[in-house]
Amino acid sequence: MGRAFVYVILGGGVAAGYAALEFSRRGISRGELCIISEEPVAPYERPALSKGFLLPEAPARLPSFHTCVGANEERLTPKWYKEHGIELVLGTRVKSADVKRKTLLTATGETISYKILIIATGARALKLEEFGVNGLDAENICYLRDLADATRLVGVMQSCAEKNAVVIGGGYIGMECAASLVINKINVTMVFPEAHCMARLFTPKISSYYEDFYKSKGVKFIKGTVLSSFENDSSGKVTAVILRDGTRLPADMVVVGIGIRPNTGLFEGQITLEKGGIKVNGRMQTSNNSVYAIGDVAAFPVKLFGEIRRLEHVDSARKSARHAVAAIMSPDKTGDFDYLPFFYSRVFTLSWQFYGDNVGEVVHYGDFSAGIFGAYWINKGQLVGAFLEGGTKEEYEAIAKATRLRPMVKDMIELERQGLGFALSI
């Protein structure tokens, strides 16, 4: 027994929410679209989990951050889906997929069939076990990918005021969680193997700025080493973190943010994968004509760079979702996805945006001491990436525009002198 839909979105995260809005705007009939999600709640803006959700005062709670509030659009509460005749199958994991038969089998034993499938399964947090560290079922080790993780993290944080936390990982999750822990009056030590934080994106100079800012808030950094084991008490709770260099850090809680892995498992051997994700063309269509992929799980051609990339950021989840639905509903009017990569973060009173690609030579600009600064990346004589901390809306728009236009840059010293003025004059 089972149900049949014209369109099925597998996964109920950010991309699913934006795809649903686009379907409804373009006009679907009641009962045509279904979203299946392992999570028990309707799609929400995942970035809120490491920001507003962790605030000690007036924290963000659902329904306030259901999609699509991230782009000042409609907030799609469960009521919205009901009113629009979109079926939400929540708290339901799909355990296998058969793309030839066009069916999905849920863990509850239901077969759901589709004419068009959109894969929006996102990614899962990498676990320390995958790096050979054991003893990880301790109740005070936290990860952060979904609402259940965030709810658990809040509970652990509340029992740790004035106590010690160790944050493992110096990327997005580590940096945003460390800031939230400090705001919750917890002493934080960050541990990561790289020489500086946000190593995949920031230059050493930019990282130094953020590390100094964090230090001024009391955060300690231990860089260039990794965790080797935990000490636990008789109840199994972690009491200390032991690093590979022998350092012992007393810990009342541990937050782990060591990267993510796309949820491709259901489709391996059935459709083509690339760069760890599901390969799609410029219409977000996979190697199977009836199957599309969007968001963190999709590896798509970034026209601007002339290569396939998989991006793990909310803006690409939102825009790839819209593009897939446009390609499905209006195939003749929809060209190839032309996406300018965009990442952002907000911590403490800081806020940065990045557009494009961080390859080639770097030119820093602005006033680091005043907290308004940035960098341009120049590759083969062209501006390909731009970063800005502390900008205004107009300034962020200017660096986005400049990055999209990829102007030639002949004189790096002149570019440094002009700084933000270069982007503003384009």
Q: Write out the residues near ligand FAD by the rule CB under 6 A.
A: 11-16, 36-39, 46-47, 49-50, 93-94, 120-123, 144-145, 172-173, 263, 266, 295-297, 312-315, 317, 343-345
What is residue 128's three-state secondary structure?
A: helix
Is residue 141 a contact partner of residue 134, using CB atoms and an 8 Å limit? no
By beta-carbon proximity to ligand FAD, the closer residue of 196 and 319 is: 319
Q: Which is nearer to ligand FAD, 199 or 424 (CB)?
A: 199
Q: Which is nearer to ligand FAD, 90 or 372 (CB)?
A: 90
Tell me the closest approach of the beta carbon of residue 202 to ligand FAD, in angstroms: 14
The three-class DSSP label of residue 266 is: helix
Question: Nearest to ligand FAD by Cβ — which residue?
Answer: 13
Neighbours of 367 (CB within 10 A): 10
- To the nearest whole angstrom, how small is the minimum distance from the Cβ of residue 68 to ligand FAD? 12
Question: Strand, coil or helix: what is 173?
Answer: helix
Number of other residues whose CB lies within 10 A of the CB of residue 82: 11
**At its nearest, how many Å lie between ligand FAD and the CB of residue 130?**
17
Q: Considering the complex, state which of residue 121 and residue 164 has its C-beta at the smaller distance from ligand FAD.
A: 121
Nearer to ligand FAD, 354 or 422 (CB): 354
Cβ pair 113, 224 in contact under 8 A: no
Shortest Å, Cβ 418 to ligand FAD: 28
**Distance between CA 89 and CA 238 in Å, rounded?**
37
Q: What is the separation of C-alpha 350 from the centre of its chain, rounded to a whole number of angstroms? A: 18
Minimum gap (Å) between residue 296 Cβ and ligand FAD: 4
CB of 94 to ligand FAD, least distance (A): 4
| Gap between the terminal Cα atoms of the chain | 60
- Whole-angstrom distance, CA of residue 199 vs CA of residue 190: 14
Which SS3 state, helix, strand or coil, does residue 343 take? strand
Give min distance, CB of 365 to ligand FAD, in A.
23
| Alpha-carbon torsion (253, 258, 264, 265), positive or negative | negative
Spatial distance between the Cα atoms of 36 and 41, rounded to a whole number of angstroms? 11
Q: Which is nearer to ligand FAD, 207 or 263 (CB)?
A: 263
In the three-class reduction of DSSP (H, G, I as helix; E, B as strand; rest coil), residue 370 is classed as helix
Which of 298, 296, 349, 205 is closest to 287 using CA atoms?
A: 298
Q: Which helix (H) or strand (E) holds 17?
A: helix 14-26
The number of angstroms, rounded, from the C-alpha of 331 to the middle of its chain's C-alpha atoms is: 28
Smallest distance, Å, CB 41 to ligand FAD? 9
Residue number with CB closer to ligand FAD (29 or 72): 72
CB of 265 to ligand FAD, least distance (A): 8
**Coil, strand or helix at 307:** strand
- When the beta carbons of 121 and 358 are compared against ligand FAD, the nearer one is 121
Measured from the CB atom, is 39 or 389 closer to ligand FAD? 39
